[in-house]
Amino acid sequence: MAGKKTLQESPAASDSRSRKLSDTESHSFQGRRSSSRTDPRQVRSAQALRQALLQLLAVKSFDQITIREICETAHVHYATFFRHHNDKEGMLDHVAKEEIDRLVAFSLPAGHRLEGYRALCDYVHSHRGLWRALLTGGAGGAMREELMRLSKNLAGLFQEYRSWLPQELSIICSTTLIVETLSWWLTQEEAAYSSDQIAVMLDELVESAVIAPRPGPR
């Protein structure tokens, strides 16, 4: 007797169907996200997802990472991801924002000049693995944008450090110098440059390029 033919669903179709179901679930959770952040289970899954993303960023670029990989590495269900984030880009932005917020909170009290850069570099050095994963693994752009946004908001706190450039351009230049210098530093051998040496470099770079008096006419 001929056996019944079993229809096999392709992996792509299965993933698409799972994504649609998860998307539907994610919408139903929108109104509960704020309250779920205090749920211990949700806190644990959020931390697991965050750690999984950082772990994957250490070995491959962000574009190569899939949501399913993040979930498998975190040992959480695929649908759980969408209780925390709409997509992987949103997750990356969230992680980048968290780290920039921590960095600014740590370094801001020390001021805008050398002591501030020392505090900044000390923080990055003490979280070297995490920052290397973010800056060299695909989150550099998101972190640059977040640092730029915060710099614009905090610009009024540092009126004594007037740039010869228009304010928006000075923020773009100084932010780019900081992020690119940190990115370069984190690709070097850990013992090659101390956090104090990088802080001095940043202070000199920003001072000479952005804060120095306006060059005379040529």
**Spatial CA neighbour of 149 closest among 101, 111, 200:** 101
Res. 24: pLDDT tops 70: no
Q: Check: pTM over 0.75? Answer yes or no.
A: no
124 neighbors 132 (Cβ within 8 angstroms): no
Res. 166: pLDDT tops 90: no
pLDDT given at position 130: 80
**Spatial CA neighbour of 140 closest among 32, 83, 63, 218:** 63
Among 28-42, 76-90, 122-136, 146-160, whose mean pLDDT is lowest? 28-42
Backbone angles phi and psi of 102, in degrees to 5? -65, -45
pLDDT given at position 39: 82
pLDDT-derived band at 109, boundaries 50, 70, 90: low
Res. 82: pLDDT tops 90: yes
* Mean pLDDT score, 120-126: 91
pLDDT given at position 37: 58
Res. 194: pLDDT tops 50: yes
Res. 90: pLDDT tops 60: yes
Q: Please provide the average confidence, as pLDDT, over all residues in the chain.
A: 77
pLDDT given at position 160: 54
Sign, CA dihedral 210-213-214-218, equals negative
Q: What is the dihedral of CA 138, 142, 145, 149, to 10 degrees?
A: -150
Count of other CB atoms within 10 angstroms of residue 47: 11
Counting residues of the chain whose pLDDT is more than 70, the rounded percentage is 72
**Spatial CA neighbour of 123 closest among 202, 33, 37:** 202
pLDDT given at position 67: 97
Q: Measured between alpha carbons, how far is 49 from 71 in angstroms, rounded to an integer?
A: 7
Largest CA distance in the chain: 95
